[in-house]
Chains A and B, each alone.
Chain A
Amino acid sequence: MTDTRQVTETSEPVIEARGLHFRAGASHILRGIDLTVDRGEVVALLGANGSGKSTLVRALVGINTPSAGTVRLLGAPLGTGRRTAAVDWSRIGYVPQRASAGGGIPSTAQEVVASGLLHGRRLRLPRGWRDQVEAALEQVGLADRVRDPVHLLSGGQQQRILIARALVREPDLLVLDEPVAGVDVASQEAFAATMERLVDGGLTVLVVLHELGELEPLVTRAVVLRHGKVVHDGAPPPARHDHDRVGHRHQHPHADDNALGAEARVLDLEVRP
Chain B
Amino acid sequence: MMLMLTDPFMQRALIAALLVGITAPVVGTYLVQRKLSLLGDGIGHVALTGVALGWLVGAGMGLTPNDALAIPGAVVAAVIGAVLIEVVRRRGRTSGDLALAIMFYGGIAGGVFLIGVAGGSSGNLMQYLFGSISTVTDGDLWLTVVLSLVVLAVGVGLRHALFSVSHDEEFAIASGLPVWALNIIVAVVSALTVTVAMRVVGLLLVSALMIVPVAVAQQVTHAFGRTMFTACVVGVVVCVSGLTITYWYNVSPGATIVVLAIAVYAVVSLVAPFLTRRRPAHDPHPDLPDDVDLPAAATERAVAAAKECR
Contacts and interface: CB of A to CB of B under 8 A. Distances in A.
Contact of B161 (A92, A118, A175, A273): A118
A116 B175 contact: yes
B182 to A, nearest CB: 8
Contact of A105 (B32, B171, B175, B177): B32
Contacts of B35: 103-104
A75 interface: no
Given A103-B166, A115-B167, A187-B288, A108 B223 contact: yes
Given A58-B170, A104-B37, A107-B223, 7 more contacts: A63-B174, A89-B177, A105-B29, A105-B224, A106-B222, A123-B160, A175-B174
29 contacts: A58-B170, A58-B174, A61-B174, A62-B174, A63-B174, A89-B176, A92-B175, A92-B176, A94-B174, A100-B168, A104-B32, A107-B167, A108-B224, A111-B163, A111-B224, A112-B167, A118-B160, A118-B164, A120-B176, A121-B178, A123-B158, A123-B160, A124-B160, A124-B161, A185-B290, A186-B290, A187-B288, A251-B291, A271-B292
Contacts of A99: 168
B207 to A, nearest CB: 14
Interface in B30-59: 32-35, 37
B8 interface: no
A37 interface: no
Interface of B (DSSP majority class): helix
A112 B224 CA distance: 10
Contacts of A85: 176
B302 to A, nearest CB: 14
Nearest to A111: B224
Given A63-B170, A186-B288, A106 B223 contact: yes
B223 A118 contact: no
Nearest to B292: A271
Given A96-B170, A118-B161, A187-B288, A104 B176 contact: no
A109 B225 CA distance: 12
A185 B290 CA distance: 7
A249 interface: yes
A114 B33 contact: no
